[in-house]
């Protein structure tokens, strides 16, 4: 099935600007990724390329982006080119001074990863004492500096019973958004999937509760970017594409410049330093396959297939080896 709208270039580029990290999270997708990093001049050259391709926004991640010494200069360069600049961080290195520097460098949004409202659970999962407290204080400093904040939580066994608590934590932190990420089974997430991932029925129950909260909670946007929630009559995103948005509205750049459809799909479709972004976007057979998935198995007779398009491509590929298979998290029999 053809999607109704595939733009002429990505709207957003997610960029693992470094893979260095000061944490040791059990579900990290990038621990085994390349340690190679691009020089500042190369990064600026790539930003020029992205601007010419009319990309709207650049979201830095990693690793921990703040471990890249020239992050502020990179952000400044991005903002000067007119990008909306954001990042995902664990918040450990963000104090009042750093928050002000991030604002000055042009960051408009920063997302902080917090997996549990319970400090002991978060700290154990992230492998660093005091990280929960630091993450919460980072949100205060960022908000104080005038940066829009959000919380990112990867839903898995450690927090499935604390969904209401996560929302309460987000409300008390006055963030604009909480993103409930589905568990992707990439990198360490794959190695630890048997102890961390939920059963399809647990996913169903989580989404029923999360949708109730999304509809009832005020002053907080709750994002559930998982295509399988169309089973519950919900849209997974506010874009004009169906199914996964990866490779349709966004691309991922690794720290060495390799391009992948998203951070959780380890298939390299090109390199931003060597290849023409627009040619890759238009002609990559991998992206084409992701945009035109062919339903298999139970998806063939599912009434939600036209919305869900088989669910999360990254997860399906990681767990079944074929992106056309039904999403393993889908609870439909």
Partner 1 sequence: MKIFRNPDVMWREEDEFKEQAYKGLGTGEDVAEIGTSILLHAGRMHSLNILGTEIWKLCDNRTIEEIVSALRQSFDVEEDVLREDVIEFLKNMKEEGLIHEE
Q: Which residues bind partner 1 (CB under 8 A)?
A: 5, 7-8, 11, 54, 56-57, 84, 177, 221, 223, 238-240, 249
| Residue 10 or 295 having the CB closest to partner 1 | 10
**Would you call 279 exposed, middle or buried from its count of C-beta atoms within 10 A (0-12, 13-18, 19+)?**
exposed
| Residue 143 or 298 having the CB closest to partner 1 | 143
Whether the upstream peptide bond of residue 232 has omega within 30° of 0, thus cis, is no
SS3 at position 314? helix
SS3 at position 289? helix
| Residue 248 or 315 having the CB closest to partner 1 | 248
The strand pairing partners of 177, in sequence order, are: 150, 221
Residue carrying structure tokens 């999607």: 3
C-beta of 218: minimal distance to partner 1 in Å?
16
| Residue 38 or 170 having the CB closest to partner 1 | 170
Give which of 152, 209, 162 is closest to 182, Cα–Cα.
152
Q: Rounded CA gap, 101 and 198, in Å?
A: 39
The strand pairing partners of 105, in sequence order, are: none
C-beta of 49: minimal distance to partner 1 in Å?
16
E-state strands within 136-176: 148-154
| Residue 189 or 247 having the CB closest to partner 1 | 247
| Residue 6 or 139 having the CB closest to partner 1 | 6
C-beta of 144: minimal distance to partner 1 in Å?
21
Residue carrying structure tokens 């399809």: 200
C-beta of 8: minimal distance to partner 1 in Å?
5
C-beta of 6: minimal distance to partner 1 in Å?
10
The sign one gets for the Cα dihedral 35, 40, 41, 43 is positive
Interior CA angle at 31 toward 130 and 314, to 5°?
110
C-beta of 84: minimal distance to partner 1 in Å?
6
| Residue 237 or 256 having the CB closest to partner 1 | 237
C-beta of 291: minimal distance to partner 1 in Å?
16
């Amino acid at each position: 099935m053809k999607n109704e709208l595939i733009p002429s270039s990505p709207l957003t580029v997610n960029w693992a600007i470094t893979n260095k990290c000061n944490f040791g999270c059990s579900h990290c997708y990038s621990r085994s990724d390349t340690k190679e990093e691009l020089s500042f001049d190369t990064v600026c050259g790539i930003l020029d390329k992205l601007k010419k391709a009319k990309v709207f926004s650049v979201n830095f991640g990693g690793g921990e982006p703040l471990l890249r010494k020239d992050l502020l200069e990179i952000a400044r360069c991005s903002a000067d080119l007119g990008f909306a600049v954001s990042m995902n961080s664990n918040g450990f290195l963000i104090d009042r001074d750093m928050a002000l520097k991030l604002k000055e460098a042009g960051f408009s949004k920063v997302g902080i990863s917090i997996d549990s409202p319970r400090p002991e659970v978060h700290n154990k999962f992230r492998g660093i004492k005091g990280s929960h407290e630091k993450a919460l204080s980072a949100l205060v400093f960022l908000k104080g500096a005038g940066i829009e904040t959000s919380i990112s939580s990867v839903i898995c066994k450690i927090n499935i019973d604390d969904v209401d608590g996560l929302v309460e934590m987000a409300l008390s932190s006055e963030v604009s958004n909480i993103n409930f990420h589905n568990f992707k089974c990439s990198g360490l997430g794959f190695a630890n999937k048997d102890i961390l991932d939920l059963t399809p029925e647990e996913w169903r129950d989580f989404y029923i509760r999360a949708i109730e909260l999304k509809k009832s909670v005020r002053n907080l946007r709750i994002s559930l970017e998982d295509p399988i929630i169309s089973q519950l009559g919900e849209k997974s995103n506010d874009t004009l594409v169906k199914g996964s948005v990866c490779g349709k509205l966004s691309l991922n750049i690794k720290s060495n410049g390799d391009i992948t459809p998203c951070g959780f799909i380890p298939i390299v479709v090109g390199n931003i330093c060597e290849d023409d972004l627009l040619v890759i976007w238009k002609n990559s057979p991998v992206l084409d396959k992701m945009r035109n998935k062919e339903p298999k198995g139970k998806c063939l007779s599912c009434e939600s297939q036209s919305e869900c398009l088989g669910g999360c491509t990254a997860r399906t590929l990681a767990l079944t080896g074929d992106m056309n298979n039904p999403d393993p998290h889908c609870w439909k029999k």
